[in-house]
Amino acid sequence: MLKSWTQLSDVQPTVAKIVVNSLRRDRIAHAYLLDGMKGTGKKETSYLFAKSLFCKNRDGEDPCHQCVNCKRIESRNHPDVHVVEPDGNSIKKHQIQYLQEEFSKTGLESKQKIYIIDHADKMTTSAANSLLKFLEEPNQETYAFLLTENIHRILNTIISRCQPLSFQALTSKRLIDKLVEQGYSPSISTTVAQLTNDMNEALELLTDDWFAEARLLVIKLYETLQVRPQQALLFIHEKWMPHFPDRSQLEIGLDLLLYIYKDMLYAQLQKNEEIVFIDQLELIEKQSLQTTQSKIVDQLSFILQSKSRLASNVNAHLLMEQIALNLQEG
C-alpha cells in the first residue's frame, strides 16, 4: 500500500508530480484517467489520492493514514468513496446509474464524493454513454478516477473530459531493486523480473513454493544436461514432469531454461551483468568454456521452437524428451 507521494515518485515520477502540484495548488480535476499496465500502481494511487482529499490531518500533500477517513478508505468502507468493478465480464449500465443515484444524495461525511471505476475499458456502450453524461455535468466536489489497461477501448469523448495520468511499466532493474528492498535475494529477484514487470505478480511468484522448486529443477536439469547427460531422460520422467503437469507451468519452466542457456552466452561474451542465474555463475562460466557460441545459439533456438510447439496440441512429455536429447547433443 502506498504511504506517500514521495514513495510513488520513486516509480512513477511524472504521475506523482502532477498529483502533488494539483493538491498543493488546490486545483483538483473532476476526473482522472489512470492508464497503464497491470501492476504499475494505478489502484493504489487512486486510493492514496482519495485519502489525501479526505484526510483530517494531512501532512502537506500526504495523508496521515491514522484518521477515521484514512482508515475507512484503506479498509474500503468509506461511505463517500464508491468503487465500481466489472460485473462478470463488463461494467453495465445499471452500475453507472446506481452510481449516479448515490451521487445525487448529500455526502454522508462531507460534501466530497469520490468514485473509482476499475477496468473502465470494460464498460458496455450504454454504460459508457451514461458515464459520459455524468462527466459532462460534475458536481462541485465530485471526483472520478477511471482505471484502465486499455485506453484505446475508452470513448474519446470520455478521455477528453479527464486529466490523463499515464503509468509506466517498471523496468527490470527497478523491480529487482524493489524486491531486494523487501528482503528477497538478488538472484531470485533477477529471475522473477524476467517473467513479469508486475510487482504484485512478482510477489506472488516469490511467495509460491512451487516457483522456488521450479527454479531449482531448472538448475538441476541444466547441470544434468551438461555434466551427466545420460541421466537427463530419467530426470525428465521422475523429477521434471511431475512438477510441471500443465502447459502454463511448463511454459514457465521453458522460460527459465531459456534464461540459463542465455546466461551461458552472456558468460562467453563477458556480460556478467546480464546473467539471470547469478547464484550459478561458477557453473555457468565453467560450462561456457566447453562449448561454442554457435552451439549455444542453436540450443536457444531449439528451446524457442519448443515453446512455440507447446502452444499447439503436442505431447508435453515427448516434447521435453526431445528438448533433453537435443540440448545434450549440443
pTM value > 0.75: no
Residues of the chain with CATH 3.40.50.300: 5-166
Mean pLDDT of 11-25: 95
Alpha-carbon distance of 130 to 133, in angstroms, equals 5
Residues 180-230: tens digit of each pLDDT: 988 999 999 999 999 988 887 899 999 999 999 999 999 999 999 999 999
What does CATH list as the number for 5-166? 3.40.50.300
208-329 CATH fold: Zinc Finger, Delta Prime; domain 3 (1.20.272)
Q: Do the Cβ atoms of 117 and 84 come closer than 8 Å? A: yes
Q: Is the pLDDT of residue 108 over 70?
A: no
pLDDT for the residue numbered 106: 66
Residues 129-156: tens digit of each pLDDT: 999 988 887 777 889 999 999 999 999 9
Q: Is the pLDDT of residue 330 over 60?
A: no
Q: Which residues of 57-87 are buried (b: 16+ CB within 10 A; e: fewer)?
A: ebeebbbebebebbebbbeeebebbebbebe
Residues 274-308: tens digit of each pLDDT: 999 999 999 999 999 999 999 999 999 999 999 99
Residues of the chain with CATH 1.20.272: 208-329
Q: Do the Cβ atoms of 112 and 53 come closer than 8 Å? A: yes
pLDDT for the residue numbered 147: 98
Mean pLDDT of 37-60: 93
